[in-house]
Amino acid sequence: MFLEAINQVLDIWSGKPPYDLQGKYWNVSVKKTLIEDIGQGIVARPLQAPHPPIVVTAVAPFSKGVTEAAARGWDPISANFLMPAWVKSHWPKYVEGCERVGRAANSANWRVAKSVFVAKDAATAKAYATSPDSPYVYYYHQLFTKLKRSGRLELFKTRRDQPDAEVTLDSICDKLIIYGTPESVADQLLAFRQEIGHFGTLLYAGKDWKDRELGRQSMILMAEKVLPRINAAGGSST
């Protein structure tokens, strides 16, 4: 369904009205509603040629979607709720897709999202990121509840044969929330990169702010304190 939708967008961008696209899942037509002289039913073509970059999220271990995206010239974002082992599995799948079409596999095109909170002191960082009413804990509690009910706890496992009973909210938050002072967060992110391999862009995953000032401060510290440390250690863009 996703692939068909993206391909229809590409067809619209490269085609001319009246668009009349019939698919297995989606039908898109303006044949009956097109009024060219007022612009109704006309989609403007992108200024970038042939179209803007297409970046897709990768939310499963050993994602086949990453391979298919790479083969079409698209690039992946590894989701922030995947364990490092599953994030690491995306790079070989990206290479596989690139090799299929003779495309150079460049790790600079790989984006990875992480849940990060930075504070000026360790106690504040820990309280905001891990307390029961933390927006970070709330986020993962929501996902944990939904994935457990739908039988998809594998995303939160550290190995495929790990029993479901070992997967808890505490274990998830411990593995997936990076928090601390700028120095600590930089060290954790560098260790994460060492574990999964080099990637081009770290995406700071947004969470609702419980405290507006602390939420803003975290982003500022990330940009002004953490990023320079990562770049000094040989990082790329963040």
Could you tell me the pTM of the whole model? 0.85
Q: Is 195 helix (H, G, I), strand (E, B) or coil?
A: helix
Whole-angstrom Cα distance, residue 62 to residue 227? 29
Q: Which helix (H) or strand (E) holds 9?
A: helix 2-14
Strand segments (E) across the chain: 20-22, 27-29, 55-58, 75-78, 111-118, 177-180, 201-204
Q: Is 204 helix (H, G, I), strand (E, B) or coil?
A: strand
Residue-level pLDDT at 3? 83
Residue-level pLDDT at 2? 82
Residue-level pLDDT at 1? 87
Whole-angstrom Cα distance, residue 213 to residue 122? 16
Whole-angstrom Cα distance, residue 186 to residue 233? 10
Task: Pick out the chain residues at pLDDT < 70.
Answer: 235-238
Residue-level pLDDT at 238? 42
For the packed helices 135-149 and 169-176, what is the interaxial angle rounded to 10 degrees? 120
What is the total residue count of the chain?
238
Q: Which of 110, 116, 137, 82 is nearest to 204 (CA)?
A: 116
The 10 Å CB-count burial string (b at 16+, else e) for 170-186 is ebbbeebbbbbbbebbb
Whole-angstrom Cα distance, residue 103 to residue 20? 32
* In contact, 10 and 51? CB cutoff 8 Å: yes
* In contact, 176 and 83? CB cutoff 8 Å: yes
* In contact, 215 and 124? CB cutoff 8 Å: no
Whole-angstrom Cα distance, residue 233 to residue 238? 13
Whole-angstrom Cα distance, residue 122 to residue 230? 19
